Amino acid sequence: MSSEASGQLNEYQQYELQKVAARGKNTTTLVALVYPPAAYYLVGKTGIAALCFFTAHFGLLAHIVAPFHVRRIITNSRRQVGGTYSSDGNPLLIVVGVLLSMGFLLVLLFGASIILGIGL
């Protein structure tokens, strides 16, 4: 019976989960708001990071989805590894950050349309 079938992790998998679990949720969330591919790279999801980069951040949808997804990846790895980690603050900060980043993107888009002479 393999180690995955029995629910146990080998040493490498344990090490990788510990690296992800040690990441700060708030820091990684802020990185995800600014540049989602970098946040996915920080939590070891290089495939998703590449996909996010080459699809122009999923049509800018990644700026909304990535903060929640990255926090969930860290939470799941902490649950699998066990142990205690410092409190990362209130998840409401994510909602406020997403709203602020969406507002920033809209202002940036509006400013670019004025400079380029394209009416929205």
pLDDT at site 24 = 84
pLDDT at site 88 = 65
pLDDT at site 120 = 54
pLDDT at site 46 = 92
* pLDDT mean by block of 10 residues, the chain; 120 residues: 57 88 85 88 92 83 88 91 71 67 76 76
- Cα dihedral 61/63/67/73 (nearest 10): 50
The letter for the amino acid at 18 is Q
Q: Would you say the C-alpha torsion 77, 80, 83, 86 has a positive or negative sign?
A: positive
- Within 10 angstroms of residue 13's Cβ, the number of other Cβ atoms is 13
pLDDT at site 119 = 60
pTM of the full structure? 0.66
pLDDT at site 108 = 77
Q: Which two tokens stand for residue 34?
A: 């600014």
Q: Which two tokens stand for residue 7?
A: 């629910």
